[in-house]
Chain A
C-alpha cells in the first residue's frame, strides 16, 4: 500500500512536471506565432495600455516613497555613524537602479497587470471564448498571448526606468528637505559613483521578469477550470507564483550579471 505522504509528494511532482511540460508547449506556440503571424497592432497597443499605462500611478507611488524611505534611513544611519548624511544619493541610486526599481516594479506589475491578464484569459477559457477564437479562424496564441508577451516585454522595462527616476527624485526630496543635503551634492554623489553598467544591471533583469510574468499569467489563464471560482483561484496562483519567482530569479540573474561583470 502506498504511504499517504509519498503518494502526496508523487502527485505534486507529477503535477509540477505536467505544468512545466504544458508551459514549454505554450512557449513553443508563442515563438511559432510570434514569427509566423501578422502583427496584431491594435490588440498589442490595448495590452500595452492595460499592462503599462494603467500601472503608472501605482508604480510611481511605490517607487517615489521607496526612494524617500531609502534616503531617510541611509541619511539617518550615516548621521548616527559619521555625524552627517554621507553618500545619500549614491546609496539611493544604487539601491533603486540595481535592485528596488526592477524588483518592486515587477512585483507591482505581477500583482496588478498579471492578475488582469490571468483573469481575462481565464474568463475567456471558462466561457468558451477561447474555443470561439478557433472557430473564427484565429489561433488564441496569436491573438491573445503574443500581444500580451510583447506588451509585457516593452512596458515593464520602461516602467522600471520611470520607477528608477522617481525613486531617485523621492530620495532627493527627503535628502534636501529632511536631511539638509544640497541637491547638487545629492546629484553629484550619483554622477561620481554610478556607471551605466549599474543601470544596465537592473534594466536587463526586467526583460527576464517580464517574460516570466507573461508566461505565468498566460499559462494560468489558459489552464483555468471551473467557472468564476476557478478564475479566482487561477488569478491568485498566478500572482503568488509570479511574485515568488521575481524574488528567486532576481538572485540568480544578479549572480550571473555580477559574474559577467555587469
Chain B
C-alpha cells in the first residue's frame, strides 16, 4: 500500500503539488488525469523519490521514503516498483535484449542463462519479436515504448507506475498496452498508478481516478462516480475530451 500524506513539491518559487493526500491500496489501478503541465509526472516521480518533495510523507509498505537520505533504504523500496517512462528512456548504448535484461540483473537473483527466455517472453507480451539484437535507435516510437514496458515488467514488480503509457502509440498498440495494464492487475495483482491526459483510458481501466489541477486533487472517485462529478474543472475536462456524462441514476 502507498500512503501519501500532505505532499508538497515546488521548483523554485513555482508550487507544483500542494498538500496531496491519498492512499493507493494494494491491487488498485489508480489513475491521475489532468491537463499537461499540471504536475502529473512530478507526482509519479515523487512516489519513487526520483524527485524529492519539499514536505509530506510517502509511505510504501510502511516505510516513509519522502525525506530519507538513506540510499540503501530508497534502493530497497524502489525494487518493488516498475516505471514506464513517457519517452521510454531506453539505454541507447544497449541492445533491446540488454535493455530488457537490465532489471533482471540488478533487481532479481535469476540466473543469467534464464535472461534470453524471460526477455523473449516479456517482448512477446507487448507484441514484439525478433527485435532482441536491435538498438533503440533502430526502433519506432511505439516499439520503444513497448520495449520499455517489457523492461519495466521483466523483474515482476509489486507496483507499476505508468507515465503517459499510450502517448505516441497507434490505436492498435494503444489497445494492446491498455489490455496489458489491466491484465497485469487482474492476473498478477500488480498495483498500478497511471498518469495520463487520456480521460477515456483512465475511466475505462481504473478502479479510481483522480483529477490533478493547480497542484491539488480536485476529485478522487471511482470511474462511475467520476463521470457524475459536479466539479467544474472535471466537467470541463470531460467535455473537452468528448466523454459522455453517462451517469447512472444511482450515482446522480
Binding site for B on A (CB under 8 A): 120, 123-124, 127-129, 131-132, 134-139
List B contacts of A137 (CB < 8 A): 75, 78-79, 103, 106-107, 155
List A contacts of B89 (CB < 8 A): 127-129, 131-132
A102 to B100, CA, bound (A): 42
A5 to B14, CA, bound (A): 27
List A contacts of B130 (CB < 8 A): none
Which residue on A lies nearest to B91, using beta carbons? A129
Does B50 sit within 8 A of A, measured CB to CB? yes
Does B82 sit within 8 A of A, measured CB to CB? yes
Return B234 CB to nearest CB of chain A, in Å.
29
The answer on a CB contact under 8 Å between B85 and A131 is: yes
Does B83 sit within 8 A of A, measured CB to CB? yes
**Chain B interface size range:** 20 to 34
Return B160 CB to nearest CB of chain A, in Å.
11
How many A-B residue pairs lie within 8 Å, measured between CB atoms?
52
The answer on a CB contact under 8 Å between A135 and B92 is: no
List B contacts of A132 (CB < 8 A): 83, 85, 89-91
List B contacts of A129 (CB < 8 A): 89-92
The answer on a CB contact under 8 Å between A136 and B103 is: yes
Return B136 CB to nearest CB of chain A, in Å.
10
The answer on a CB contact under 8 Å between A135 and B81 is: yes
List A contacts of B152 (CB < 8 A): 135
The answer on a CB contact under 8 Å between B71 and A128 is: no
A128 to B45, CA, bound (A): 11
The answer on a CB contact under 8 Å between A136 and B50 is: no
**Choice from B50, B90, B93 contacting A135 with Cβ under 8 Å:** B50
Known: A132-B90, A134-B50, A136-B103. 4 other contacts (CB 8 A): A127-B92, A129-B90, A132-B89, A135-B82
